[in-house]
Structure 1
Amino acid sequence: MKFANRLDLLRSNVFADMDRAKAKAVLAGQDLIDLSLGSSDLPVADHIITPIQDSVSDPATHGYLLFRNTQGFREIVAQWYSNRYGIAVDPETEVLQLIGSQEGTAHLPLAILNPGDFALLQDPGYPSHIGGVYLAGGQMYPMPLREENGFLPVFEEIPETVLAQARMMVLSYPHNPTSATASLSFFRQAVAFCQNHDLVLVHDFPYMDFVFPEGEDQTVAELAPSILQADPDKSVSIEFFTFSKSYNMGGFRIGFAIGNAELILALRQIKATVDFNQYIGILNGAIAALTGPQDHIIQNMGIFRQRRDAFIQAMQDIGWNVAKPKATMYIWAKLPEPWSQDSIGFCRQLVEQTGVAASPGVGFGKSGEGYVRFALVHPPEVLVTAVNRIAQFLQSSP
């Protein structure tokens, strides 16, 4: 049986290899502590679950959901964004419901790129950004994110020959995997750069609420800036949101896009050929999430702050100094010798020998080599246990 050549790049990847390594460790009797996936272990709030449960028993919700039937959701999203960031949004033309933001970031290149066109992507960056460009027949130009630059790309380094063929740039801050944040002034630079070079600016924004307050008052949420604050006219920009992180709804697969009306329409046209919309019961839960109490987000951020601090302290105690992140649920750690250029080998042997699973930095791009990402998806005592196992592994390494 013959398959399309485009499957060749998709048949194997670092994370599939790590899944096999985790399965092998479990079969060997290891007690798995999985720090490789950014899937929150915290529960969905009751006021979000209730409307979903109520919808299931209503036969009127069991049919296909067409675009016009998402209007109530889109109106709530537009009002939520306007209240949050002070920018008016047209729910009819500037909002699109998605089955998770990854659907949007993976499908949008099909609407923008012709074969051979370049997309400017962060390196390291989220893997689905690469996959969408690849399936669209585009070329990826990796923008290196270096520690000395705060893990921000340097636009002036992009060659003119690449810019002549480039059609889009993808950013995502707070950033996965490096946990870096970006200022509004940086976003203004990015918008101006894309306007000057006729580029679509895509901002993937899953960690909008995952910013740790710097002051003494930990009861006040700190907002990460939105790209549309730097492009209030939505001249070149589209932003992707998800309920997976702020509301712990990863398994419900619900998100949305806000931005330039032409981009929203183009993505809607792609989406219409691929799927119908999300089950309306889940949209009802999402509406409850946006309109209901938000104090659980602050509480959850307090939990992740405790986890971050416990993990960082435990790492310092074993002599592995890592930077304390200002945002996200991740620790981006530079690997010690002899693993400084073998993140895959480190992660594979770590899980096989100790049961602690992490994500190799090179899985997020060439510039991620020499790093490892730990996800803070367990209570502090489990994280400390994981670090103790890591210490034993490092001591036994040659």
Structure 2
Amino acid sequence: MSVRLKLTLSYAGFLMIASVLLLAVVWVFLLRYVPEDIYTPGGPVPGDRLGSVFIPDQEDLTRAFFPRAMAALAFLLVFGLLGGWILAGRMLSPLRRITRAARLATDGSLSHRIQLEGRQDEFRELADTFDGMLAQLEAHIAEQQRFAANASHELRTPLAITQTLLEVARDDPARDTGELVERLRYVNTRAIDLTEALLVLSRADRRSFTTEHVDLSLIAEEASETLLPLAEKRGLTIETSGDVAPATGSYALLLQMTTNLVHNAIVHNRPEHGSVWVTTGVRPGTVALTVENTGEMLTPRLVSTLTEPFQRGTGRVHGDHAGVGLGLAIVRSIVTAHDGTLTLTPRPDGGLRVTVLLPTAHA
């Protein structure tokens, strides 16, 4: 049976039970005042103008009461079924709209919204929750499609370059193979870096990692020391400071996050005499990691797009250490996987300030 029919039968059944109980109470109440047999003298009854009066006994009451009671119950049964069917239909109409939206979502249409009107009740709360879920699914799928398209484009580029180099070498056997091998090695290295970045990004999105107590200040020092040769090669200075910042999470992923931030601050800096500042600190309920660098003037609109996959603040031209365009996208995924927040703001004098807030580790 459908839910509407079940509700209809429930309404009608409850109404019938209540009616039977009511009639039973009335019947018991009447029996208290009506004797089984009535004996009246043949003389007139005092106070009656006609001189006689009819006084019913229990048998007379039964003959008069039960047919009318059965008729009332039959009317209430029909009324309960009809009224229950109408009320159940009105009560379940929001559920039908939710079911229709779910079917459309199953067919691939995620743009449909229920937008249920009326008071804030259980059905309205369910519909609003379902609309929110559809919005998140639509945004997530759109982001995945955009990411897949960008990843395909980025992976296609080194493969196309490799194919071109090999065709040139085939058509020109006298060409210097040393130069060809070096260029192939460079292209292959970039393809490997891109593949590893995609794997890290996927791992962070799935939250498939074990957690442990970590200290962001030690991670910041390790990342800075690892990238110090690159900074010195570019004529930059790295300053690391701050307090102990205890957090909970994956040491490997948090180190990857910090390394990406410092690497991004080094690559997108002044050609020379630039600076990178890495600081850690403790705030109420959170620990903070801040990475700042000097560099070009950035607009808030440009900064808001830097965490998108394959976006680069200085264009899509690759340099020696330009990365694969996934550095800040990986940072955002790692921060989200650790229930933190990521904030990017342009510095007034040029460059970028990146702040990561993570929950404080509980002792």
Bigger share in helix: 2
With the shorter chain as reference, the TM-score category is under 0.3
Larger relative contact order, structure 1 or 2 (CA cutoff 8 Å, min sep 6): 1
Q: Which has the larger radius of gyration?
A: 2
Question: TM-score, normalized by length of structure 1?
Answer: 0.21
Question: TM-score, normalized by length of structure 2?
Answer: 0.22
